[in-house]
Structure 1
Amino acid sequence: MNSLSRQLKQQFSILGAFVVSFWTIEILDIAIFSSYLDRFGIIPHNLIGLRGILFAPFLHGGIGHLIANTIPFLVLGWFVMLQETSDFFLVTLITMIVGGLGVWVFGAPGSVHIGASILIFGYLGFLLFRGFFQKNLPSIMLSVIVFFLYGGLIWGILPGLGPFISWQGHLFGFIGGILAARWLSSK
């Protein structure tokens, strides 16, 4: 029981650190920088825009955007950790790279892509396909639970959601999550 308690504390500390960084950066960006930090997002087809692969998930287009991302990030991020806490870091890294590069290559020139939704869709892809690749009952059950809780998000990978919604970030984050599920399943 002590081990489980320690593991839960570690998981919530990791997720909490991410969420606190999201909120701190956004509050500072609004209060001090007048949304200037958003320029550090992914800028497609621009070499300087590649830095956004690392920064974009921590930047948001206002408090509403951040609120919309916080709960799914916490829930799906924790589900990613259920089998191994270390899976979270690997899935996050793969999603950031695959998702970020996909946005950089396929995003509209001159646009700026920001938000943790690239990670959320990566976690969604990972969790939905983990059961398929691992073929064990707990992973399949978690995939089914995630589908019922968040399956409606899949529509977010389609174009035409609105001018300020990065369907490219959603799509390539999702693909990154699937690749992470495949890779971790083969290990």
Structure 2
Amino acid sequence: MATSARPYRPRTSARVFPRRPFMAAFGMLLFTFLLYLVEAYDQTTSLALNDEDGIVARDPSHLVGVVWAPLLHSGWPHLESNAPFFLIFGFLVLAGGLRQFIAVTAVIWVVSGLGVWLIAPPGSVTVGASGVIFGWLVFLLFRGFFSGSLKQILLAVVLFLLWGGVLVGLLPGDPHVSWQAHLFGALAGILCARMVASADRSRAIRSREPVIRQ
């Protein structure tokens, strides 16, 4: 009988850039291009996608807007203001791998949308990817502090210095800007950062458990 320890593998969540940066960049370019395709379709047809598929506060028939609203925008300027952040923050979130990216994005997507549906002004229609963007940004800001990764903390400091000013969007202000989406996206980002760090610690503990061979 022999006892040995499993080799410890570096934590994927401690990375600050994707393992395959060119693939990650290409994937985010495609995702961002999808937003442009949806907007082009909305602009060139009479289907009124924003009214039909946006989030209408507390209207059960428009609850499906939680799924579709981040893909829709109120015009080209709206999309163009979101696209760079969508591309950059999404790329950085991919540092944890595709499965983590999908899980984090799904939580932020749904929580942000449900928050808008619950507390936005009655009858208002909300569209846009900014809730997801705020969630990604806050996830990146908090991830390193929960995981104890110096590299991720340094990245968070850089991101805050560059774009921390956008966090003012968490507060009520411009009636045409959904602070509700920003706030709930940010809360979901904190939740995801904590969950990812917790899952990573659990994996690290399991990787050090002895293996008994007979």
Normalised to the residue count of structure 1, the TM-score between the two structures is: 0.91
The separation in 2 between residues aligned to 1:157 and 1:168, in whole angstroms, is 7
Matched pairs, number: 182
The separation in 1 between residues aligned to 2:19 and 2:168, in whole angstroms, is 37
1:23 paired with 2:22, answer no
Identity among equivalent positions (%) equals: 41
**Greater C-alpha radius of gyration:** 2
1:82 is displaced (CA, Å) by: 2.1
The separation in 2 between residues aligned to 1:6 and 1:134, in whole angstroms, is 18
The separation in 1 between residues aligned to 2:151 and 2:100, in whole angstroms, is 16
How does 1:122-133 map onto structure 2 within 5 Å?
122-133=135-146
Match for 1:183 among 170, 195, 204? 195
Query: Structure 1 segments of 4 or more deviating over 4 A?
Result: none
1:170 paired with 2:182, answer yes
1:103 is displaced (CA, Å) by: 0.8
Letter in 2 for 1:156: G
SS at match of 2:145: helix
SS at match of 1:82: helix
Letter in 2 for 1:172: F
Deviations 1:16-46 (A, max 9, x none): 2211110001011011136x00020111111
The separation in 2 between residues aligned to 1:85 and 1:141, in whole angstroms, is 23
1:63 paired with 2:56, answer no
The separation in 2 between residues aligned to 1:94 and 1:82, in whole angstroms, is 17
SS at match of 2:175: coil
Residue 11 (structure 1) aligns with = 24
Question: Higher relative contact order at CA 8 Å, sep ≥6: structure 1 or structure 2?
Answer: 2
Residue 164 (structure 2) aligns with = 151
Q: CA RMSD in A?
A: 1.7
1:140 paired with 2:150, answer no
Structure 2: give runs of 5+ residues left out of the alignment.
Answer: 1-16, 200-214
The separation in 2 between residues aligned to 1:25 and 1:62, in whole angstroms, is 11
Deviations 1:153-180 (A, max 9, x none): 11001001x2211110111111111111
The separation in 2 between residues aligned to 1:17 and 1:177, in whole angstroms, is 23
The separation in 2 between residues aligned to 1:6 and 1:76, in whole angstroms, is 15
User: Structure 1 or 2: larger helix share?
Assistant: 1
SS at match of 1:79: helix
SS at match of 1:140: helix
The separation in 2 between residues aligned to 1:5 and 1:104, in whole angstroms, is 33
Q: Sort the Cα spacing of 1:6 and 1:144 in 2 relative to 1 into closer, same or farther, 3 A.
A: closer
Letter in 2 for 1:16: L
Residue 128 (structure 2) aligns with = 115
Letter in 2 for 1:56: A
Residue 106 (structure 2) aligns with = 93
